[in-house]
Amino acid sequence: MASYYVPTVVQTTIPDTDMTPLERLILSHIFSAEPDGDGLYFFAEDSPAECLELDVAVLRDAHRASADADSVLNAIVADRLAEVEAGDTHVELDLSVISWATIFQDVVRRSPTLDEVAVSSAFTCSRMRSDGFGGMATLITVTAILSGSTDEMLAGFREVADAAAAPSVHVLLRFDESEVRTTVGEVIAYDGATTIVPFASISDDDIHAACLAVAASTDFAEERGSAVFKAALAAIANAAAPR
């Protein structure tokens, strides 16, 4: 039976003072933690943990010391501690209902120094299965949690490759509505007999509707055919030219 792993490193050192005691406790069980200056470096050699076993007294103390902070963990741990029976020394905490990224986002929201937390993960497998390898990058900010996998990168590469393989399209004519408005002013200024309305009364909607009508009613088939024919002759001349 194959085993799947997600080795993960939190590239951003998390300042110790930016975490609540509860967040520090929980993150240090989801990941391994090592001191790095005034903060902690978090990593998981196999995969981040989702189900934790914690000392009830330690968890209760950390929760009590973090009660005033805005943290998603507070309510989750409070509900779990309410289920602990008298005499229990350890408690299991299931964190599959939330992501560790959500915990880090709470830290970033409160932090006076952090703008983001960057995380890199690898997908590995104990057997060489095609679905067992890859990776993911996660960027956590105050407003967003953004993740991208290698599968998504490959999908993007395929789109680029398909676009490159498609025949090139060349635009022969394009006109901008701002050009039309400028021309309207010139027509009124130099040939006032052609209009009975002042320039200021011609709205953007008038310009837009006129451009749509002209584009729909104008046929450049002859000019297009001529351009295609000239391009064909030029291609032949290019091929016949000395290299």
pLDDT averaged per 10 residues in sequence order, the chain, 243 residues: 95 97 97 97 96 96 94 93 91 90 96 96 94 94 95 92 80 84 80 69 87 86 83 82 80
**Are residues 26 and 114 part of one domain?**
yes
**Are residues 217 and 140 part of one domain?**
no
Q: Which of 142, 164, 186 is the last residue of a domain?
A: 164
**Residue 5 CB neighbours (<10 A):** 16
**Are residues 218 and 152 part of one domain?**
no
Would you say residue 61 lies in a domain?
Answer: yes
Q: Which of 164, 192, 212 is the last residue of a domain?
A: 164
Angle made by CA atoms 238, 242, 243, in degrees to the nearest 5: 90
> Given this model, what pLDDT does residue 177 score?
87
**Are residues 132 and 56 part of one domain?**
yes
**Are residues 185 and 158 part of one domain?**
no
Tokens representing residue 114 in the block: 């952090």
Would you say residue 24 lies in a domain?
Answer: yes
**Are residues 121 and 14 part of one domain?**
yes
**Are residues 96 and 36 part of one domain?**
yes
Would you say residue 172 lies in a domain?
Answer: no
Q: Which residues form the domain of 72?
A: 4-164
**Are residues 187 and 71 part of one domain?**
no
Would you say residue 57 lies in a domain?
Answer: yes
Angle made by CA atoms 216, 220, 225, in degrees to the nearest 5: 145
CB half-sphere exposure, 94, CA atoms < 13 A: 4
Would you say residue 170 lies in a domain?
Answer: no
> Given this model, what pLDDT does residue 228 score?
81
Sign of the alpha-carbon dihedral angle for 22, 27, 30, 32: negative
CB 117 within 8 A of CB 42: no
**Are residues 186 and 147 part of one domain?**
no
Q: For residue 191, what are the CA distances in angstroms to 68, 179, 182, 214, 215?
A: 74, 18, 14, 21, 24
Would you say residue 59 lies in a domain?
Answer: yes
**Are residues 226 and 126 part of one domain?**
no
**Are residues 158 and 188 part of one domain?**
no
Task: Report the DSSP beta bridge partners of residue 125.
Answer: 4
Q: Which of 131, 164, 197 is the last residue of a domain?
A: 164
Would you say residue 34 lies in a domain?
Answer: yes
pTM above 0.75, yes or no: no
**Are residues 207 and 159 part of one domain?**
no
- Sole residue written with tokens 């022969």: 172
> Given this model, what pLDDT does residue 195 score?
63
Structural domain tally of the chain? 2
Would you say residue 169 lies in a domain?
Answer: no
